[in-house]
Amino acid sequence: MAMPTITRARGRRPRTASARIRREIEAQGERLWRLRDFGDLSPSAVASTLSRLVKEGRLRRIQPGVYYRSRPTILGESIPSQQAVLAAKLAEPLHPTGLTAAAMLGFTTQNPSRLEYATSAENAPPRIAARIRNRRPDSRRRLSPREGAILEFLRDRAQTSDLSAEETAKRLLDLLARDKTFDRLMVAAMDEPPRVRAMLGALGQEAGTPERHLRALRGSLGLVSKYDFGHLSGLRHAKAWQAK
């Protein structure tokens, strides 16, 4: 199957901040958004774009600094749960995990009975009626919810995907190709379990990332270790990245 290339083609004009924000919001469907979800962009540019999207009817302003993109249902437009709004306002970022991550990333249409999140905080935040996995690496703090969800999905070996192995790999490569996501995850993955680094390396090689850019990931793996790739064991370069 034809795979997208993660590296950006030379000579392509960079997208404006507004265009990038709009594309991210359109791509991710129903979810809450905050200014810090675009932490690498100018706060004023993010605020202006989100305000324009509210005026256009594409977003709803739930609370100061918290915006929501709904989805149509048989009863009308969806509304966010109070727990989700509370989670969006926490100082420590929460990244979807488990089925919550898989649903957000488009790998399943299942809705977990209880939301699942991961956080870098030492303790689970209070007043959150969700399953929280705490003490994730501090490097997670610099990632968006979508980027953190990708790492959580890899931690789970893509086992929460309802797609075929081939479709799962293609979907992951599409996600990694967006706005230097792969570059940011390569840095953050150095603090993740070795299997996550191995799967990310195999995905990068499948997408045509130059070997010199993958050297740090490859060098971080044990020379004789083998890793369970789960639903991603069929990647073309899985064995080269020490899959069982």
* The token pair that represents 53 in the structure block: 């999207």
* DSSP state at residue 89: T
Does pTM surpass 0.85? Answer: no
Cβ contact 51:33 at 8 Å: no
The phi and psi torsions of 117 (rounded to 5 degrees) equal -135, 160
Length of the chain: 244
Burial of 24 (0-12, 13-18, 19+ CB in 10 A): middle
- Quote the Cα angle for 186-187-190, to 5°: 90
Give the whole-angstrom CA distance, residue 113 versus residue 120: 23
Question: Quick one: tokens of 172?
Answer: 């992951």
Q: Where are the domains of the chain?
A: 81-241
The one-letter amino acid at 52? R
Instruction: Judge whether 225 and 194 are in contact, CB under 8 Å.
Output: yes
Question: Which SS3 state, helix, strand or coil, does residue 82 take?
Answer: helix
Per-residue confidence of the chain (244 residues) as pLDDT tens digits? 445 555 444 444 446 889 999 998 988 778 889 888 887 788 899 999 999 999 999 999 988 888 999 988 888 888 887 767 776 766 677 899 999 999 989 999 888 888 899 998 887 777 777 899 989 999 888 888 889 999 999 999 999 999 999 999 999 999 999 878 999 999 999 999 999 999 999 999 999 999 999 999 999 999 999 999 999 999 999 999 999 9
Strands 116-119 and 131-133, by their bridges, are parallel
What is the per-residue pLDDT for 6?
Answer: 59
pLDDT for res 63: 83
